[in-house]
Amino acid sequence: MGLQISRRAAMRRAISVAAGAAAATTTIKVSEQVGARRPLPFYKGPAASIHADRRTAPRNSHVDVVWSVNTIKREIALTFDDGPKPQWTPKVLETLRRHGVPATFFLVGRNLAEHADLLAQDADRHEFGNHTWQHEDLARQDFDAAIEALTRAHEAIIHLLGRVPTLMRPPYGHLGGSTMLACAELGYSVVLWSKQMLESDFRDNPSGLVDYIVGSSGAGDIVLAHDTGPKDRLVALDRLDSMIVGLQERGFEFVTVSQLLNGSSG
Ligand SMILES: [Zn+2]
């Protein structure tokens, strides 16, 4: 009898758990459907890649989006995001200078406005791309906000470095239609990456990051690093020397992203 009661109680509990789970599932499904059925604004929102007046086409007919480059040349492009900042930009520049290696820096306009002097000595060796004015998440911006974030940084690069940038890297790798439209207006190619410094994965085994980058990089890779940010970025920056030497020993040559895209390093 006792057993029967407890079995019945267990069954009741099982039924109520199942019902609860079913209810939860139903709730999720309903909310997903509500979200899916709510249309994004056709024009004006972050997803819109067409101008809201429905009449104006962007100045450029297309925008390239690049993760890496198909090439048989053993070329790799190192890229450094978010600077310039006094913290580690000079250390990175010094290492690159010592090896005679060029890189591409995706600059945050506001940081450039404050610290352009950090780049003066080495500007000729390197390429500079646009990483927005203050690291905005462009996937959340409508066209007006996206083009404002990009234009302010674009003008800072022209004004402070005397170069017209042609490459844009979106913060976080986040993209929306409004960003593509802004890039078509400004003549930018969008540059993502095919390999990145996995600092947080190698905090306890820093030399493992050297092995990972040197061992797994291939021709045409675009490598993402940062010359500012949290302290674990040093897991990579402290070992930049070994990475450069290791990749050169494997026969790789370092080029800027534009050289990689144009196949023009010889
Ligand atoms: Zn960034």
pLDDT in 10s for each residue of the chain, 266 residues: 344 445 555 555 555 544 454 444 445 455 555 566 788 888 999 999 999 999 999 999 999 999 999 999 999 999 999 999 999 999 999 999 999 999 999 999 999 999 999 999 999 999 999 999 999 999 999 999 999 999 999 999 999 999 999 999 999 999 999 999 999 999 999 999 999 999 999 999 999 999 999 999 999 999 999 999 999 999 999 999 999 999 999 999 999 999 999 995 44
**Length, in residues, of the chain:** 266
The two tokens of residue 127 are: 């390429």
What count of other Cβ atoms lies within 10 Å of the Cβ of residue 224? Answer: 20
Positions marked catalytic: 81, 226
**What local confidence, expressed as pLDDT, does residue 29 receive?**
54
Q: What pLDDT score was predicted for residue 82?
A: 98
Give the per-residue pLDDT at 14: 52
Inter-residue contact 185 to 60 (CB < 8 Å): yes
> For residues 164 and 159, what is the distance between their CA atoms, to the nearest angstrom?
9
Supply the DSSP symbol for 224: E
Query: Which DSSP state fits 7?
Result: H
Query: Tell me, what's the pLDDT at 42?
Result: 87
* Alpha carbons 59 and 186: distance in angstroms, whole number: 8
Q: What is the Å distance from ligand 1's center to 107 Cα? A: 8
Give the whole-angstrom CA distance, residue 29 versus residue 224: 38
Burial of 52 (0-12, 13-18, 19+ CB in 10 A): middle
Dihedral sign of CA atoms 132, 134, 136, 142 in order: negative
Beta-carbon contacts of 68 under 8 Å, excluding residues fewer than 6 positions away, are 193, 194, 220, 221, 222
User: 154 C-alpha vs ligand 1 centroid, how far in Å?
Assistant: 16
Per-residue confidence (pLDDT) for residue 41, from 0 to 100: 87
- Cα of 53 to ligand 1 centre, how many Å? 32
Distance 79 CA to ligand 1 centre (A): 11
How far apart CA 18 and CA 15 sit, in angstroms, is: 5
What's the pTM? 0.85
Task: Supply the pLDDT for residue 25.
Answer: 47
How many Å lie between the centroid of ligand 1 and the Cα of residue 131?
A: 7
Percent composition of the chain: helix, strand, coil (DSSP 3-state, to 5):
50, 10, 35
Evaluate the CA torsion angle 174, 177, 182, 186 in order and state its sign. Answer: positive
d(CA 177, ligand 1 centre) in Å: 19
pLDDT at residue 264, rounded to an integer: 53
